Chains A and B, each alone.
Chain A
Amino acid sequence: MSAKIIKKRKPNRSIAGDIALYFFLLLVAFVMAFPIIYAVSSALKPLDELFKFPPKIFAQHPTLDNFSDLFVTMGKSWVTFTRYLFNTVFITFVGTAGHLIIASMGAFVLAKYEFPGNQTFFKIVTVAMMFTGWVTAIPNYLILNKLGWIDTYWAIIIPAFASPMGLFLMKQFMEGLPTALIEAAKIDGANEWTVFSRIVMPNVKPAWMTLIIFSVQGLWNNKASTYIYSEEKKTLVFALQQIQSGGIARTGQGAAVLVVVMIVPILIFVFSESQILETMASSGLKD
C-alpha cells in the first residue's frame, strides 16, 4: 500500500509535511469519533459499569441489556412500541417517496427545458435553502391549521415533499445528463412522461440516494411535537427522547436510545456514500 502512495505522490509535496498532516488527521478523526464511540459503548455497558468511578471508556462486559430494557419500558407505555415505529416509518417512507417523485419532476423540466420563469423560480428555491425551519414554523402552523392537517401525519409529510434541497441537488445533477439522450427518445416518439420515467429517472439513480438520505435524515429525526399532539401519532424519536429524560435510573436506556436514533441515518450514509458524493459533485452554486 505504502509503495502505491509514494508512487502517486505529487512532485511538489514534502514528506515531512505529509507525515505531519496524516498524524494531525488521525488525531482529529479520533476527537470527532470519540463522542459517538462513547455513546455506543455506554449503551453496551451493564448498570454497574455505567456509574463506575473512574469511568472506563469501553465496556468491560458488553451486554445488550440496555436495549432489551428499552423494549420492556416501551412495551409498558400506553401506546405500544410498534405503533411509534409505524408512525416514524410511515412518515419517513411516504414523505421521502413523495419528495423524490415531485422534486424530480420539477427538477427535470428546470434542468432540461427553457421556459419563461424557470430561472426566477430556481433562484427562489436556492434562497429558500437558507431558511431554517424556524423562520417558517409559525405561519406553517397557521396554514396547516387552516387546512385541518394539525394532528395528522400530513402535517409532517406534505411540507417535506417540497424541501428545496432535494430539488436543487436533483436539478444540478440532471443538468449533467446529455441532452442528446432525451432528443433521441423524442424522435422515437416518446412523450415527456415516458422520457422522464423511462430515460431520465433510471439515469440519475445516484441522485435518488442523495435525496433519500437528506429526506430520511430530516424525517427520521423529526420529533413532530409541534404539529402532532395525540400520543398515538407521535414518532419514535419523540417517544425515545421521553425515555431519555427519565432521569438517572434510565441512563443506560438513554444511551441505547441515542444509538437507535443515530444508527439509521449513519447506516444509510455508509451504504450509499459513493452515490451521494457523485451527486454532490454537481452541487455547486453559480452566481
Chain B
Amino acid sequence: MKEYLQKYFTLRKHNLNVAWKKAKNRKMCYLFLAPYAILFTMFYVFPVVASIYYSFTYYNILEPPRFIGLQNYISLVLQDDIFLIGVKNTLMIALITGPLGYILSFLFAWLINELPVWIRSIAVIVFYAPSIAGNCYVIFSVFFRGDAYGYVNAFLMNLGIIDTARLWLIDPRYMLPICMIVILWMSLGTGFLSFVAGLQGIDRSMFEAGYMDGIKNRWQELWFITLPSMKPMLMFGAVMTITSSFGVADVTMALCGYPSTDYAARTIVTHLFDYGYSRFEMGYACAIATILFLMMILCNKAIQSLLRRVGT
C-alpha cells in the first residue's frame, strides 16, 4: 500500500512537472487568455462561490456577514410558504415550457429546413424575432385585458364560450397558463438558430444512403438520420432552454404585476429579487440563488443523459 502511494505521488509529481514545463513554453497562450479569464472569474465564477458562502450567513450589507449555518435553507423550506409557491411555479413553467419550447424549436427548424432559401430566411426572422423583440411581450397585456374590451375576452364572448369578462391577469387561475403562452411565444431563441444552422450542415449523402436502406417517410428519416447527427446542437439547445425556463421573471412581473395576486405568478427569481433588492436580506437571497443554481445544474445533467439515448 505504502509503495503504491509512493509510486502514485511520484507519478503525480512527474505529471505536474511536465504540465509546468508545457505551461512555461506556452506563456503567450496564458497572456492571450488572461484578460478574459480574469474578468470571467471575477464576474461569473467568483459570484457563484460568494453566493454559496453568503447563503450560510445573515447579511444585510450594513453589518458584516454573520455566520448562521443552514438557518437560511431551513427557513426557506420550512417557514417560507411563498418561496414554496415560487418553486412550484418555476417548476411548472420549466417543466411545461422548457420541453415544449425545446421541441417546438427543433420542429420548426426542421420543418423550414426544406423550404427554398429565401422563404427559409424570412421564416427564421419571423420565428426568431419574438425572442429578441425587447419587451414586446407587454403587448399581451392588451390582448388579455380584464374588461370586455380586451381582445381575448371580446373574442370568447362573441363566440359565446364565456358570458362575463375574465380577469385574465388578476385571477390566479389564469395567470400561469397565460405566462406560459407568452414564454412559449418567445421560446424560439438561440437554440432555434443553432438547430437551423445544424440542419443545414448535415451531410446530404447520409439521406441518400437512407433512401437505399429503405427509410420510408420523413419521420423515420428524422429519428434515424437527422437527430443522431444533430446531437451537439441538441445539447447546446438544451443548455439555452434550461437558462431561459428556470430564469423566468421578467414576463410574469410585467404581465401579472409584482407582487401578483396571492403570489400566484411568483417564481424563484421574483422571490430572489424581492429579498435581494427590496428587503436587502442578501444572505437569504443568496440561499435562493444557490438553490436555483443547483436545480439548473441537476436538470442539465439529467437532460444530457437523456440526449445520449437519442436515435439508438
Is B129 an interface position by the 8 A CB rule?
Answer: yes
Q: Are B124 and A273 in contact (CB under 8 A)?
A: yes
Q: How far is it, in angstroms, between the C-alpha of A124 and the C-alpha of B40 when the chains are bound? A: 10
B235 sits at the interface (CB 8 A): yes
Residues of B close to A281: CB separation below 8 A: 197-198, 200-201
Tell me the complex Cα distance, A212–B240, Å.
18
Q: Hey, which chain A residues are within 8 Å of B243, CB to CB?
A: 129-132
Q: How far apart are the CA atoms of A25 and B23 in the complex, in Å?
A: 54
A130 touches B297 (CB 8 A): yes
Q: How far is the CA of A40 from the CA of B59 in the complex (A)?
A: 46
Which residues on A sit within 8 Å (CB–CB) of B39?
Answer: 102, 158-159, 161-162
Q: Is the CB of A116 within 8 A of B19?
A: yes
Q: Does B74 contact A (CB under 8 A)?
A: no
Q: Is A1 close to B, CB under 8 A? A: yes
Q: Is the beta-carbon distance between B116 and A262 smaller than 8 angstroms?
A: no
* Cβ-based interface call for B91 (8 A): no
Tell me which of A59-67, A75-83, A180-188, A264-272 binds B. Answer: A264-272
Chain A, residue nearest B282 (CB): A138
Per-position contact with A for B126-155: 1 when CB-CB < 8 Å, else 0? 111110111111111011000001010010
CA distance A287 to B308 in the complex (A): 9
A93 within 8 A of B: no
CB proximity of B187 to chain A, nearest CB, Å = 11
Residues of A within 8 A of B35 (CB): 102, 105-106, 161
Interface SS majority for chain B: helix
B207 interface hit (Cβ, 8 Å): yes
Q: List 13 A-B contacts (CB under 8 A).
A: A1-B116, A12-B221, A29-B123, A36-B136, A42-B139, A106-B32, A117-B23, A135-B48, A143-B46, A226-B277, A258-B136, A262-B136, A266-B125
**B260 cross-chain contacts in A, Cβ below 8 A:** none
The answer to whether the Cβ of A277 comes within 8 Å of any Cβ in the partner chain is yes
Within 8 A of A (CB), among B2-50: 19-20, 22-23, 26, 28-30, 32-33, 35-37, 39-40, 42-48, 50
- How far apart are the CA atoms of A215 and B272 in the complex, in Å? 25
- Type the 1/0 row for A34-73, where 1 means its CB is closer than 8 Å to any CB of B: 0110110010000000000111000000000000000000
The answer to the question of A249 belonging to the interface, with a C-beta cut-off of 8 Å to chain B, is no
Beyond the given A32-B188, A115-B22, could you list 9 further A-B residue pairs with CB under 8 A, ordered by the A residue number? Answer: A133-B247, A135-B296, A159-B43, A164-B40, A192-B32, A258-B135, A269-B125, A277-B124, A287-B235
Knowing A5-B116, A277-B196, A286-B232, say if A266 contacts B129 (CB, 8 Å).
yes
Closest-by-CB residue of A relative to B36 is: A106
Question: Which A residues form the contact surface with B (CB < 8 A)?
Answer: 1, 4-5, 10-14, 17, 21, 24-25, 28-29, 32-33, 35-36, 38-39, 42, 53-55, 102-103, 105-106, 108-110, 113-118, 121, 124-140, 142-143, 158-159, 161-162, 164-165, 167, 192, 196, 214, 217, 220-221, 226, 237, 241, 244, 258, 261-262, 265-266, 269-270, 273-274, 276-281, 283-287
Residue of A124, A131, A262 near B293 (CB, 8 A) is A131
Contact across chains for A121 and B33 when beta carbons are under 8 A apart: yes
Measured between beta carbons, the chain B residues less than 8 angstroms from A159 are 39, 43
A26, chain B: closest CB distance, angstroms: 10
Is A17 touching B218 in the complex (CB atoms < 8 A)?
Answer: yes
Q: Which of A14, A38, A143, A283 has the most CB of B within 10 A?
A: A283
Contact count band on B: 35 or more
Q: Given A33-B129, A142-B50, A284–B185 Cβ distance below 8 Å?
A: no
Q: Are A143 and B132 in contact (CB under 8 A)?
A: no
- The answer to whether B285 has its CB under 8 Å from any CB of chain A is yes
Given known contacts A113-B26, A130-B296, A138 and B285 CB-to-CB distance under 8 angstroms: yes
Pairs of residues from A and B, 10 with the lowest C-beta to C-beta distance, nearest first:
A284-B232, A132-B247, A106-B36, A139-B47, A280-B197, A162-B39, A136-B47, A285-B235, A261-B134, A281-B197
Which residues on the B side are within 8 Å of A106 (C-beta)?
A: 32-33, 35-37
A35 touches which one: B47, B114, B130, B289 (CB < 8 A)? B130
For B32, list chain A residues within 8 Å (CB).
105-106, 108-109, 192, 196
Chain B residues 143-200 with CB under 8 Å of chain A are 143, 149, 151, 154, 185, 188, 190, 193-194, 196-198, 200
